[in-house]
Amino acid sequence: MRKTIDILGVPVDSITMSEAVAKIDSFMNESGVHAIFTPNAEIMMAAQRDPELKEILSNADMLTADGAGVVLASKLLGRSVPEKVSGIDLVQNIFKTCASKGLRLFLFGAKPGVAQEAAEKIKAANPGIVIAGCRDGYFTPDQESDIVNTINLSCADLLLVALGAPKQEKWIARNKNVLNVKVCIGVGGAINVLSGRVQLSPDFFRRNGLEWLHRLYKEPRRAKRMMDLPRFMIRVMWEKFTGR
């Protein structure tokens, strides 16, 4: 049974990292395509403005709390999630399952060449893992069915879609019915990180919920988007005190 917490109308799973990994492992033995997203405060706010995105998130098979903002929001609402389960940490844990069980991985997204670089790093860190294929994330609408065919022909079990939000969520929702993978995960900038081209924030920032501060320093062009973090906290406080 899924245990979710309603945060501004989005049902976030109350789940630990190890439970999330076990659940994904069980999805691999079920029929159908399972969609997993890892919303952070920016995505939660985007969902308030975009009913289509909210609907897609609400229909996902798993939503994990990616980021200190979502974890804090759950605490403020008195329905605390057990821990942060970020997309990058989640996929790195699932790679171990893929390697031990012979599950096939497809990397879709990021600039040309980056997914291949990520694949090499993933293979080095997870001996035995099978990379079924890679595809960059830049395409025209008429190329979309070819991309789906390529993914299906690769016989991938796990598909990582790294097109940024909300593009990846919408791509997965649009193509879920024609894909024959077991699990799709929207992973934002994770392929950049896996390739080594982008570094995660240092541990101190990650452990203390200050990743946003480090990211703002490294990528000041994100400042406008990052205003969604305080907006999100204000919305959560409003919900807490007014019940609306």
CB of 121 to ligand UDP, least distance (A): 15
CA 90 to chain centre: 8
69 binds ligand UDP (CB under 6 A): no
Q: Are 88 and 200 in contact (CB under 8 A)?
A: yes
Tell me the per-residue interface mask from 163 to 192 with ligand UDP, x by CB under 6 A, - otherwise: xxx-x--------------------xx-xx
| Number of Cβ atoms within 10 Å of the Cβ of 231 | 15
Nearer to ligand UDP, 138 or 238 (CB): 138
Please say which residue, 103 or 154, places its beta carbon nearer to ligand UDP: 154
Residue whose CB is less far from ligand UDP, 36 or 99: 36
In whole angstroms, what is the distance from residue 19 CA to residue 25 CA? Answer: 10
- Please say whether the beta carbons of 12 and 64 come within 8 A: yes
Please list every residue from 103 through 142 that binds ligand UDP, using CB under 6 A. 109-111, 137-138
- Tell me, letter by letter, the H, E, C secondary structure of 112-173: CCHHHHHHHHHHHHCCCCEEEEEECCCCCHHHHHHHHHHHHHCCCCEEEEECCCCHHHHHHH
Here's the x/- map for ligand UDP, 81-110, by CB under 6 A: it reads as: ----------------------------xx
- Per-residue binding string, ligand UDP, 39-58, x by CB under 6 A, is --------------------
Nearer to ligand UDP, 69 or 188 (CB): 188
Contact in structure between 139 and 174 (CB atoms under 8 Å)? no
Please say which residue, 30 or 52, places its beta carbon nearer to ligand UDP. Answer: 52
CB of residue 32 vs ligand UDP: minimum separation in angstroms? 26
* Count of residues in contact with ligand UDP, rule CB under 6 A: 14
Question: What residue ranges bind ligand UDP (CB under 6 A)?
Answer: 109-111, 137-138, 162-165, 167, 188-189, 191-192
